[in-house]
Every structure is written in C-alpha cells, then in structure tokens.
Amino acid sequence: MFTYLFKRAFTLLFVLLGLAVLIFVIARIVPGDPARIALGPLATAEQVTKLQNEMGLNDPYPVQLWTYLSGLVQGDLGKSLLTSRPVMDDIMGALPATFELVLFTVVLQILISIPLGVIAAIYRNTWIDSVLRVISLLGVVTPGFVLAIILQLIAAHYLGFFPVTGRIDPGIGFSAEITGLLTIDGLIAGRFDVVIDALRHLFLPAIALAAAGIGQVMRITRTAMIEVSSRDFVEASRAYGIPERVVTFRYMLRVASVAPLTILGLEFASLIGNAFIVEFVFSWPGIASYGVRTILQKDLNAVIGVVLVSGVFFVVANLAIDLLLGILDPRHRIRAGRGS
C-alpha cells in the first residue's frame, strides 16, 4: 500500500512540474508582449521597457523559467496587474469559496448520479429507465450558462428562497477563519444560521455546475452495472442464494463503481473549467471569477496562477479518487504497486 501511495504521489509531482513548465511555455509562445498587452496600446515605449524589465521578460528563457519555478516553490506567483497585490494572496483569498463550491458539487454528483445509475440499471428497458435517461440527457446537454440563467430566473423570481449571488448574506456578519469553508467553520462555531445561509447560497451554483457530470456519471454507472451484471460471479452469487439486494450493492456496485469514479476524476478539469462560467453568473467570489476578471484584463501573472491552481486541484482530486479506487478494488492497488 505504501509503495502504491509513493508511486502515485511521485507521478503526480511529475505531472505538476510538467504542468508548470507547460503553462510557462504557453505563456511565452503566445504572440504578443505581455508588458505591452498589460499596459495597453496607449503606453509609451519607455513604460513598456520598464515593465518588461520588472517582469524579467528581457532575461534569457531558461533564466525566466528558473525564476518562475523557484518563485513557485516559495509560493510566489508574481504580482497581479489588476489588483496590484501578490497573485498568491488573491488566490488564497478566493480559494476557499471555490473549494467549497466544488466539494459540494462533487458530493452532490456522487450522491445523485450513482444511485440513479444503479436504479436505471436495475430497471433497465422499463419506463423508469427511460425517465432517468431523459434526466441524465438533459443534464449532459444543457449548457452550464443556460442552466445557470434558468435557475436564477426560476429561483429568484418565482421561489425566492435561494439567493442568486454571493456566498453568504452580507448582513449575517461572519468570517470563516479556520478552514475558510463557511459551512464547516459555521458548524465549528456553532452558528447554524451561517451554515444554513451558506447552503442556501451554495445550492443553485452547485446544481448548475453538477448537472453535466450527474448526467454523464449516471449513464456510465448504468452501463457499468449492466456490464458487471453479466459476469459469471454475479450469476454464481445468485445461484448460491445471496439476496438480490446484497448482490447488487455489495457484489456489483463495488466492481462497477470503478468506471464512474475514474470518469469523475478525469472530468474534474472540465468541472473546474465550468466553474468559470458558473461563478461568473452567480458572482461567486472564487478563483474562477477572479480568473475571468483577470483574463479579461489580460493580467498574465494572475492567469498563470489561476490555471496552475486549477491544475493542482485536478491532480489532488485524482489522487483522492485513486486512493478511493485502491480501497474499493484490491487489484488497482496491487497492479499500481507492481508497476505498469
């Protein structure tokens, strides 16, 4: 198990390093001078040169790469041109909001899609399956921003219970200082009003963000369950008289959950990508809205920082899923421990 963990962590470290270098390369390959882009067309040549020097753009590329990487290791992502603060500080300030949203979304996805996928598989080719199929399809095909707008429209104007912007009612007066997650810190502080208000705020953006994944994971769970149900060991378990309920949940689901969880991990990058839209629409104060704002301002340092942090998110999420798979499926553990 330890070998396995080490190996995974090692691979991921490698991916992170590659990621950092790749982003650097993309940032340098893209035509246009970052200093010129940042200052706009009205800036004078001296201003541009001054900023170029400040940003180290006149150094040779290997030096730039080294400065950038060693800065990274120390948590230094440079200064944001938009806010004039260190990018790291901006990101750390916005990270908890995104983390809370994404975490809530993933939990929602797992809790909704896997059970529904199992139900669809059990009642396959009946009307229940058809209804679930339509639901999963709607989830997959509805564009995130359309869903977000529709949800806002319905919730705000017809229901009114779910707030349509922000993380928390500004009148509540609470700052999350332990984990940064309002729901968790609210629980720790015993402020249930905070927890409930935070959940109300989370609900709509999380649904908008989760929909695509729910549809997809549901579909994959269904397929995987049907595939597993035709395996010999399922027939054997039934023939030995193990009740259908146990066969389904203990014997089949455990084997079948590998595919949807893997997909969940792979789709994590898309999830973060979609967060850019959802946070934008719901004015969610997370790194994605920060990202959109800095992208629109062509604030290169900040953009690099946001993309990099998103990559870290992806890598960590996949490590978590890998561990989960290792627990669920001993073959995964042993195979990974043995190597390719």
Near another protein by CB under 8 A: residue from 74, 84, 175, 340: 340
Stretch 262-291 residues interacting with another protein (CB under 8 A):
266, 269-277, 280, 288, 291
| Closer residue to another protein in complex, CB, 85/338 | 338
Stretch 97-126 residues interacting with another protein (CB under 8 A):
none
Binding mask 167-206 for another protein (x = CB under 8 A): ----------------------------------------
| Closer residue to another protein in complex, CB, 200/238 | 238
79 bridge partner residues? 86
Stretch 205-264 residues interacting with another protein (CB under 8 A):
223, 230-233, 235-243, 246, 250-251, 254-255
Contacts 24+ apart (CB under 8 A), 22-31: 23/304, 23/307, 23/308, 23/311, 24/64, 24/65, 24/68, 24/69, 24/304, 27/300, 27/303, 27/304, 28/61, 28/64
Q: How far is the CB of 20 from another protein (least distance, A)?
A: 10
| Closer residue to another protein in complex, CB, 150/172 | 150
| Closer residue to another protein in complex, CB, 197/279 | 279
Stretch 140-159 residues interacting with another protein (CB under 8 A):
140-146, 149-150, 152-153, 157
Q: How far is the CB of 300 from another protein (least distance, A)?
A: 7
- C-alpha 203/C-alpha 326 separation (Å) is 31
Q: Is 326 helix (H, G, I), strand (E, B) or coil?
A: helix
Among the residue ranges 47-55, 67-75, 172-180, 322-330, the one whose residues contact another protein (CB under 8 A):
322-330
86 bridge partner residues? 79
Residue 76 exposed, middle or buried by CB count within 10 Å (0-12, 13-18, 19+): middle
**Which secondary structure element, helix H or strand E, spans residue 185, and what is its range?**
helix 182-189
Stretch 3-62 residues interacting with another protein (CB under 8 A):
3, 6-7, 10, 14-15, 18-19, 22-23, 26, 30-32, 37
- C-alpha 103/C-alpha 182 separation (Å) is 12
Q: How far is the CB of 98 from another protein (least distance, A)?
A: 11
Type of residue found at 149: I
Region of residue 59 (phi > 0: left; psi between -120 and 50: alpha; otherwise: beta): beta
- C-alpha 73/C-alpha 209 separation (Å) is 31
Binding mask 301-320 for another protein (x = CB under 8 A): --x--xx--xx--xx-----
